[in-house]
């Protein structure tokens, strides 16, 4: 880039026009899809992400509506810094979105190494659960002032078996618990909801403690066809397909009576029958 402001399509009457959003884990994958959707709807976006490459790529856009903050969201100080920078740049925070995540790449309980069990548990729960709490704690005063919205990220693994191993699945059920508890605690000022994406081909990495940090979900052989085969809509969603759900839950004018809600953007996994009606793979064939 030559220092010129990047041209992007912004809706003048966008759903989030002039609203400030802090997106934790917005550097890649579904989080990046949310960033792009929010920007296109006129939002002012601050991204906190641990990936230096992702933060540099966002910074290179030279977009005045975008602030990219490098930091490990497992650290409260990083979250406070991101909140402070969002407030300094955009005069507050209207929406907090948490997309940070890590997987166990379907490692079963039997296959979890005894010697790395504790460290793997801490790593997965720190990233998938603790970050949501830390980011919310840091942003809480600003969200109370704006009477804002929070959108967490769950997963189909937060509802159904087989979306990961026991560590990943347990962590996603825990985020469901946060939605339930915090939507109660923070009402009526703040609405707390979530999106539960189904299988999506992204660079989601595995746990370092399990030796899976160099393995990305998108690198799993035939992952796209595996995703397509198990959902009734036979879709392989892109991050942008889920971003619409985050946009809806971040748009306060559209969710006047909505909190404690999860949008399951998973291709209809609960609609799988025991008998395939169209010749495709059904639950009974797996």
CATH of the domain at 156: 3.40.50.720
Which of 152, 159, 168, 246 is catalytic? The answer is 168
Residue 12 forms part of a structural domain: no
Residue 120 forms part of a structural domain: yes
Which range marks the domain in which residue 151 is found? 20-285
Report the distance separating Cα 31 and Cα 23, nearest Å: 7
User: What's the number of domains the chain is made of?
Assistant: 1
* pLDDT single digits (tens) 63-96: 999 999 999 999 999 999 999 999 999 999 999 9
Residue 77 forms part of a structural domain: yes
Closest C-alpha among 95, 131, 132, 79 to residue 21: 95
The whole-model pTM stands at: 0.89
**What percent of the chain has pLDDT above 70?**
91
Tokens describing residue 159: 């509802």
Residue 270 forms part of a structural domain: yes
> What is the pLDDT averaged over residues 257-271?
93
pLDDT at residue 116 tops 70? yes
What percent of the residues of the chain are helix, what percent strand, and what percent coil, each to the nearest 5? 45, 15, 40
Report the distance separating Cα 283 and Cα 280, nearest Å: 10
Residue 9 forms part of a structural domain: no
Residue 276, pLDDT score: 59
pLDDT at residue 7 tops 70? no
Residue 268 forms part of a structural domain: yes
Residue 150 forms part of a structural domain: yes
How sure is the predictor about 281, in pLDDT bands with cuts at 50, 70 and 90?
Answer: very low
* pLDDT single digits (tens) 161-220: 988 999 999 999 999 999 999 999 999 999 999 999 998 888 788 888 888 877 777 777
Residue 244 forms part of a structural domain: yes
3-state secondary structure of 183: helix
Cα–Cα distance list, 167 to 207, 210, 216 (Å): 10, 11, 17
User: Known catalytic residue: 168?
Assistant: yes
Closest C-alpha among 21, 95, 41, 144 to residue 252: 95
Q: Give the side-chain half-sphere CA count within 13 A for 146.
A: 23
Contact 266, 196 (CB under 8 A): yes
């Amino acid at each position: 880039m030559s220092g010129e402001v990047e041209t992007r399509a912004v809706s003048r009457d966008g759903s989030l026009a002039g609203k400030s959003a802090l997106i934790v884990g917005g550097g890649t994958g579904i989080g990046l899809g949310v960033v792009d959707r929010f920007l296109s709807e006129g939002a002012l976006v601050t991204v906190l992400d641990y990936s230096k490459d992702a933060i540099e790529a966002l910074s290179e856009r030279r977009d005045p509506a975008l602030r990219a903050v490098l930091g490990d969201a497992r650290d409260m100080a990083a979250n406070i810094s991101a909140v402070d920078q969002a407030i300094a740049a955009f005069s507050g925070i209207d929406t907090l979105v948490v997309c940070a995540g890590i997987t166990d790449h379907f490692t079963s309980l039997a296959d979890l190494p005894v010697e790395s069990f504790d460290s793997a548990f801490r790593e997965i729960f720190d990233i998938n659960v603790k970050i949501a709490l830390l980011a919310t704690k840091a942003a809480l005063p600003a969200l109370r002032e704006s009477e804002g919205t929070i959108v967490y990220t769950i997963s189909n693994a937060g509802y159904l078996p087989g979306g990961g191993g026991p560590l990943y699945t347990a962590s996603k059920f825990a985020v469901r618990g946060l939605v339930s508890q915090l939507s109660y605690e923070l009402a009526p000022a703040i609405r707390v909801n979530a999106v539960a994406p189904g299988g999506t081909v992204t660079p989601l990495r595995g746990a370092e403690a399990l030796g899976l940090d160099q393995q990305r979900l998108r690198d799993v052989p035939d992952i796209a066809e595996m995703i397509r085969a198990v959902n009734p809509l036979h879709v392989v969603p892109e991050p942008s397909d889920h971003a619409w759900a985050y946009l809806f839950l971040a748009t306060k004018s559209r969710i006047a009576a909505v909190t404690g809600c999860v949008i399951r953007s998973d291709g209809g996994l609960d609609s799988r029958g025991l008998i395939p009606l169209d010749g495709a793979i059904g639950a009974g064939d797996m």
